[in-house]
Structure 1
Amino acid sequence: MRLNKTYWQHRYEARNTGWDMGMVSPPLGAYIDQLTEKNINILLPGAGMGYEAVYLAEAGFEALTVLDIAPYPLESLKERLPASFSSENLVEADFFDFEAGPFDLVLEHTFFCALPPQLRPQYALKMNELLRPGGKLSGLLFDFPLTSEGPPFGGSKEEYEQLFAPYFHIRVLERATNSIPPRQGSELFFIFEKK
């Protein structure tokens, strides 16, 4: 069963968002800083409060699509993104029903871990569909034992390799070295390139 729009909207309205750092994640900020092509087509799925979207927009990336199932974070983002950012690129939709692209880059942060684990094969397939050949799925995945308690739901490097290898070349999948202190040792930074 999916954690639906109503579930997530209530979590945001109640400020029950323990994953929210209030800023761009340091590993993702460092990754964004080394991206040189400002015209690439980027998707941020399950973007939540969208700190990465603001960071990208302020760095001059213009072809951004920000996707979330709940309206609350998207409304908040309208106030924080540069005035030049088109609100048409803030999309309220279920990721699995979303039709767009192809994208050059999908930036993953806390979306994958919020999905019930039985949806992970669908996530991998959908990412494959959304990216152009050679496009990249990059970001952070949690590295702690998978339990039925969540979100967030955990996982392991071995599970991720098995899940994504049919669609992607695993270019990087390693422990993040610049995570915030509460997440030290529990985040894997990754770059997967579509086959």
Structure 2
Amino acid sequence: MAAPTQTKDPKKMQAHLAQPQYKGDNYVEGWASLWDKGDNLPWDRGFPNPALEDTLVKQRPTIGAPLATDAQGQSYRRKALVPGCGRGVDVLLLASFGYDAYGLEYSAAAVEACQKEEKDNANWYRVRDQTVGAGSVTWLRGDFFDDAWLQKAGVGLNGFDIIYDYTFFCALDPSLRPKWALRQTQLLAPSPSGNLICLEFPRHKDPQAAGPPYASPSEAYIAHLSHPGEDVPYDAKGAVKYNPLQPSSPGGLERVAYWQPERTHEAGQGENGVIHDRVSIWRRRN
């Protein structure tokens, strides 16, 4: 596979996104302008994170198979969503495992990059199980927090069986995290079918350091997904104030699996290859 074009100076990208016109809900315009200029994300590694591939193989008893049977006994493919999918490598991986996969980006240039990735590297995303076959691939342009792209896709609320979040949570200004968590509950299918897979990165970044990517320790995922839509306190140093004894909100998600992956991108590793990334799986509470 061809290596992605990367922004050589992350600080330049961070300064661009820090401009006032890209704050709050206008964050999508900032990312779109980078795509329109031909810049990709510095942490685009050009291929799916191997931690996702391992999850799809080893965690099937938790997340379920790509094919399922409805109440009438009809077989169907389960739906997987990757918000902020970049060049779509994770979407194509999910489709190769048999899921009907949807990739969402706000920029038209980003969607074109996804289409090019699908065309140029189709042989790389081989079908993993011939008895299951490949799922469909759908590229969508829209804002994650808006319903217009859902309507275009013909998918209703709570319609996705798998949602994969990697370099999306950490790309959002922390002020948008309550809204992000609430949106996950709106898109995720009921338990146990619906599973949100979070590849938590960067967990060990200084919370006071500039982003994106913003520091995203496991405590931040727990605090926000357990209390979607609610304000979560952070201390003066930018660390989330997480109380493990605090009960979850009635509409919160629960973490059903959590582990250190055996493999991940180099960006998620420290000295001597020590893996800092974690994978967590979340479901709607019954």
What TM-score results when the alignment is normalised by the length of structure 1?
A: 0.87
SS of 1:4's equivalent in the other structure is helix
> Does structure 1 residue 69 correspond to structure 2 residue 106?
yes
What TM-score results when the alignment is normalised by the length of structure 2?
A: 0.61
Over the matched positions of the two proteins, sequence identity in percent amounts to 26
> What residue is the counterpart of 1:95 in the other structure?
144
Are residues 106 and 25 of structure 1, via their aligned partners in 2, closer, same or farther at CA, if it must alter by over 3 Å? Answer: same
Any stretches of 5+ residues in structure 2 without a counterpart?
A: 1-22, 68-76, 123-133, 151-155, 227-248, 270-274
Measure the CA separation in 1 of the matches of 2:162 and 2:174: 23
Please tell me the residue identity of whatever aligns with 1:156. P
Are residues 94 and 22 of structure 1, via their aligned partners in 2, closer, same or farther at CA, if it must alter by over 3 Å? Answer: same
Shift, 1:86, TM fit? 6.7
> What residue is the counterpart of 1:180 in the other structure?
265
Please tell me the residue identity of whatever aligns with 2:284. K
SS of 2:42's equivalent in the other structure is coil
Q: 1:120-159 to 2 correspondence within 5 Å?
A: 120-134=177-191, 135-142=194-201, 143-144=203-204, 145-147=206-208, 149-159=210-220
Please tell me the residue identity of whatever aligns with 2:27. N
Q: Which of structures 1 and 2 has the larger relative contact order (alpha carbons within 8 angstroms, sep 6+)?
A: 1
Q: 1:78-117 to 2 correspondence within 5 Å?
A: 78-81=115-118, 89-98=138-147, 99=150, 100-101=156-157, 102-117=159-174
> What residue is the counterpart of 1:8 in the other structure?
31
Shift, 1:16, TM fit? 4.4
SS of 2:161's equivalent in the other structure is strand
Please tell me the residue identity of whatever aligns with 1:55. L
More strand by percentage: 1
Are residues 126 and 193 of structure 1, via their aligned partners in 2, closer, same or farther at CA, if it must alter by over 3 Å? Answer: same
> What residue is the counterpart of 2:225 in the other structure?
164
Which of structure 1's runs of 4+ aligned residues deviate more than 6 A? 82-87
Measure the CA separation in 2 of the matches of 1:85 and 1:157: 31
SS of 2:263's equivalent in the other structure is coil
Superposition CA RMSD, Å:
2.3
Measure the CA separation in 2 of the matches of 1:104 and 1:172: 16
